[in-house]
A and B are shown apart, each in its own frame.
Chain A
């Protein structure tokens, strides 16, 4: 038995264009199918077909046939398909039942609805929690869990119903690196245990080695369908999918004649290191010197005479409940792109909220443009510091993109028309400027949220997870924006889990762990220091991991590695 889509075209009610056009594919039992492609390519719609959410919840015009393990989806119901197909949503918290006081109750919910005997409910729920590696959370309140823990509870909740197929729609886009790794590992175990897995992600460095097939959707059509290695060999897809760094390195080495062209492309760090070891020699001296210390770098020193734009002296922040979120933080931020890194709960967002006065230090002092933040209102500080939040849904509220972006500059009494025009262009939103923000997808809404802060024209721009949920094109737009703002002389502070992005665009990295600054220096120095990365709970960028695997120090980029690789004779 399999899943079969035959000539499926689906147009949502009130939509002008079909979300899926003539998609045909067959998913064999027990396979792991990765789905990727740009924003609005139809990935979510494809997922929604399998448990019957389309057409039974999201109505519209459906043509073609969908058969899930012998069940005709359009003729069935969501409740009935729930036995065969488990669905994990993007947002960890929204998919909870909202009526469970413990994780065990959450997982038990579906079993209760099916009238499973009581002693079996608890046994099965605990078994599933163990399978996904969160058995120890059984008695916790779901609302107290991290995103990564919640996503695994969500997986356990759908697994409790014994589905044959597990569908996960961008399950890691809101998770930190630890949560992402844990989820991918759990899903891999499910695949090994015999489940059929369909997983949507932009994170091909993690997805490609695990999946046995990769589907690429673009504008509702199936653009590519094959083994990940074969699909990723096609450089024409580079603008469409996030080609993993190891594949880019592998392609380069083949183009340079270092590695024979017929060798399979490396999908993992280990495979990339392995082929370099087998076919090339890299002299550590040919790699740019990253240095090994992590003392504060020159990049953040004041570019002009006078007060630095932002200065933190001995800052401590203890929340009302007694949680110490920041301890003894001394930082001077003045120019360039200073990326703030650290795992969830390390204090990044707490620190960011100190930069514009949303939070005041419980000890120490924060000054912006020379003045103590305690003596100014947030509205006053907004003339100096713009802060874009992680979740666009908690930020956007005006009817159109144009009005939304104009809100900040209007409040500050600045020329809104010009500011809107520039910000909209910088974030590639020209096509949607007069559209309703509510009609846009999350990735585009996120860019609107960033534009609405950039338009304020502040000297300091703080961006919380600016690349979260962005496809390669969106990520490139954000990257260009950061570079342009820095070139204009503004201070840009991205808070990010995206180490590749930080490696590429930051001049300085500040890494936090448990509310303390554990590293502060140029990207090459911080990423080249394994001990610091470990302390901050950060993954190194892929190229750095490849170098480390080869026993090389420093923090090279893919291009550095490629340039330094000398073919063996």
Chain B
């Protein structure tokens, strides 16, 4: 139903069992750290991320989207910087009339490694972090409850809207609407799609808000959660480690 969308993969691995806020801290640390760190450290970081992905057992869920995102990105980087970033003018090789510059390739490689760390950290986070647990964790750290709800609800809204849009288009095409014709026809098709999509969503939103209200969503008073999110010493150590590493890299940069 939600092809192409990377989503949570149930599991019991070590990354899965981390507190969601620990993972938020680590993702932010990886992003900041990869940006600040020298290339060898980024390589080590990448190796650590790949190892975490393998150990946690989500490699099969991560590698395909990672390749889909990184392959065109990497190709673009190497072509553009390799050919157009001259640096000190040292040529690496010549391909026909084009020269590949050493500095360009080095820059492309460094950038690519940083981006790969971003993407891998993001995918690892999404596939191992249960959205509801994340919401609970965020609320516990002070994020407003309604914002937490919107976050999780919007994750579910996308496949629902896709399904609805498909049904509407089917219904309109069945009545002779040509969705692949002239620009005028296409605009007509768009109007025919958005009317019912909007109205249908509004109708179901009305029911949903009533159902939420009746179940006490707006009630005053303390909340509890189905989920217990224990914070272990590993969590504390990892959070602290992430922050110290980023601070250290920042200091190294400044010096």
A101 engages B132 (CB within 8 Å) = yes
Within 8 A of A (CB), among B169-193: 170-178, 180-181, 191-192
Binary contact track A420-458/B, C-beta < 8 Å → 1, others 0: 000000000000000000100000000000001100100
A114 contacts across to B, CB distance below 8 A: 216, 219, 221
A158–B149 Cα gap in the complex (Å)? 19
Cβ-defined contact, A57 with B164, below 8 A = no
B173 touches A104 (CB 8 A): no
In the bound complex, residues from chain B placing their C-beta under 8 Å from that of A96 are: 208, 211
Q: Which A residues are CB-close (under 8 A) to B210?
A: 53, 57, 78, 87, 89
- B167 CB contacts on chain A under 8 angstroms: 389, 391, 394
A378 B130 Cβ-Cβ under 8 A: no
Contact (Cβ within 8 A) B130 A79: no
Contacts A79-B216, A382-B174; is A98 near B226 (CB within 8 Å)?
no
Smallest CB gap from B3: residue in A: A320
Interface membership of A110, Cβ < 8 A: yes
- Residue B140 at the A interface, CB < 8 A? no
Q: Is the CB of B175 within 8 A of A452?
A: yes
Residues of B contacting A387 with CB < 8 Å? 171, 174
Q: Are A113 and B226 in contact (CB under 8 A)?
A: no
Q: Nearest Cβ in chain A — how far from B15, in angstroms?
A: 18
Determine whether the beta carbon of A438 is less than 8 Å from that of B224. no
Contact for A117 among B132, B160, B191, B224, CB less than 8 A:
B224
Chain B window 220-233, contacts with chain A (Cβ cutoff 8 Å), 1 for yes, 0 for no: 01111111100000
* B203 x A393 contact (CB < 8 A): yes
Q: List A contacts of B159 (CB < 8 A).
A: 143
With both chains docked as a complex, state the minimum distance between the C-beta of B36 and any C-beta of chain A, in angstroms: 35
**Residue pair B171, A89 in contact (C-beta under 8 Å):** no
Using A95-B207, A394-B200 as known contacts, say yes or no to A82 and B175 having CB atoms under 8 A apart.
no
Report if A99-B174 is in contact (Cβ < 8 Å); known contacts: A115-B221, A394-B200, A395-B168.
no
Distance (whole angstroms) from the CB of B218 to the closest CB of chain A: 6
> Does A407 sit at the interface, judged by CB under 8 A?
yes
Residue of B nearest to A413 (CB): B176
Given A94-B204, A393-B199, A411-B177, are A57 and B132 also a contact pair (CB < 8 Å)?
no
Interface status of A118 (Cβ within 8 A of chain B)? yes
Contacts of A383 in B (CB 8 A): 176
A382 CA / B159 CA spacing, docked (Å): 28
Q: Count B-side interface residues using an 8 Å CB cutoff.
A: 56
Q: Is the CB of A379 within 8 A of B214?
A: no
On whether the beta carbons of B226 and A108 are closer than 8 Å, the reply is yes
- Residue from A99, A116, A398 having most chain B Cβ neighbours under 10 A: A99
Collect the chain A residues with CB atoms within 8 Å of residue B223's CB.
Answer: 112-113, 115
When chains A and B are docked, how far (Å) is the Cα of A389 from the Cα of B167? Answer: 9
A180: Cβ under 8 A from any B Cβ: no
Contact B157 A98 (CB under 8 A): yes
Which residues of chain A come closer than 8 Å to B177, judged between CB atoms? 379, 407, 411
Contact of B176 among A391, A398, A408 (CB under 8 A): A408
The 0/1 profile, CB within 8 Å of B marked 1, for residues 44-59 of chain A is 0000000101000100
Q: Across the interface, which residues of B come within 8 angstroms of A300, CB to CB?
A: none
Q: Among A91, A105, A397, A398, which residue has its beta carbon within 8 angstroms of that of B226?
A: A105
Nearest chain-B residue to A139 (Cβ)? Answer: B10
Interface residues of A in 519-559 (CB under 8 A from B): none
Complex Cα distance, B214 from A294, in Å, reads: 50
Closest to A51 in B: B214
List residues of A (52-105) whose CB comes within 8 Å of B's CBs: 53, 57, 78-79, 81-82, 85-87, 89, 91, 93-102, 104-105
A402 to chain B, nearest CB (A): 15
Answer yes or no: B71 CB below 8 A from chain A CBs.
no
Q: Is the CB of B173 within 8 A of A97?
A: no
Q: Are A98 and B224 in contact (CB under 8 A)?
A: no
Q: Is B252 an interface residue (CB 8 A)?
A: no
CB distance from A345 to the nearest CB of B (A): 15
Q: Which of B175, B180, B217 has the most CB of A within 10 A?
A: B175
Q: Which residues of the other chain, A, contact B195 by a CB distance below 8 angstroms?
A: 396-398
Complex A-B: 23 CB contacts under 8 Å: A57-B213, A82-B213, A94-B211, A95-B208, A97-B153, A101-B152, A105-B226, A111-B224, A113-B223, A116-B224, A118-B226, A118-B228, A143-B156, A143-B159, A353-B170, A379-B181, A389-B170, A393-B196, A395-B171, A396-B196, A397-B192, A398-B195, A411-B176
